[in-house]
Structure 1
């Protein structure tokens, strides 16, 4: 069992450009899933926005990003990032969730999602937003 933490940046329409820039600086490979790719288009103007993306480099650099849909509140200065905790063991992720959830505000309950066996988001009592999930291979 193991988990990793990754900075998860939040944008509104600029996630793809940002990840392209970070890849040009740090190297590595980019994976990008648009809302259209995931079958989760809420607004046709945002179909090609990034629902999830990352840059991973052999030198250890790893960053994730997504475009916050327009139906959700977003202010770049208030919530520019999440801390992502990913693992392969559902019991381990669930145990971490239970501990982090004490005194927190649950944004999205930890439960099965279209893209992951478990996915949840909460803002802890210190104002840090955490995303926890169990990884699943991307077949897009």
Structure 2
């Protein structure tokens, strides 16, 4: 089973300059926080998502 870990960095209007993907599966993605949501550079600056290929790999029944 493979597990994908992606780190998402939150920005305000600068996300396009911060995208990284390596051949071995390491990924950092940048997201622009929507203008209607509050944003402070020091708060909620990132989140991590985990994923696998199928529901069976996740252990779902």
Deviations 1:111-132 (A, max 9, x none): xxxxxxxxxxxxxxxxxxxxxx
Q: Larger relative CO (CA 8 A, sep 6+): 1 or 2? A: 2
- TM-score scaled by structure 1? 0.36
Which runs of 5 or more residues in structure 2 are unaligned? none
Cα drift, residue 56 of structure 1: 1.2
Residue 58 in structure 1 maps to residue 23 in structure 2? yes
- 1-side partners of 2:18 and 2:55: how far apart? 31
Higher helix share: 1
Which runs of 5 or more residues in structure 1 are unaligned? 20-54, 95-140
- TM-score scaled by structure 2? 0.71
RMSD of the alignment, in Å? Answer: 2.5
In the TM superposition, structure 1's runs of 4+ consecutive aligned residues that sit over 6 Å from their partners are: none
